[in-house]
Amino acid sequence: MMGFGFGFPFMWLFWILIIGLVIWAVVQIANRSGSNQPTGGPYPPYTSQQEDALEVLKRRYARGEITKSEYEEMRRDLLA
């Protein structure tokens, strides 16, 4: 015989797993090094829909977190 015994199918399976593992590792490395996005942290990523400072100030005043005089002073600073 030519050596095609019980081990032949397992040899193919072994090499398929090895090739799959190498491809998976390359993809993982490429995703990590090619991404300029932060992977985490205390601040969310900036989006164009994020509120500007004046909107935050208006919301804080509406909730009563700051007084009218504080609101007007901060508003002047932001608009200057």
> For position 70, what pLDDT does the model report?
94
Q: Are 64 and 72 in contact (CB under 8 A)?
A: no
Q: What is the pTM of this model?
A: 0.38
pLDDT at 48 over 50: no
> For position 66, what pLDDT does the model report?
92
Q: Are 57 and 77 in contact (CB under 8 A)?
A: no
Contacts of 60 (CB under 8 A, 6+ apart): 66, 71
Between 57 and 35, name the one with better pLDDT: 57
9-47 tens-digit pLDDT: 778 888 899 999 999 999 988 887 665 555 555 555 555
> For position 21, what pLDDT does the model report?
96
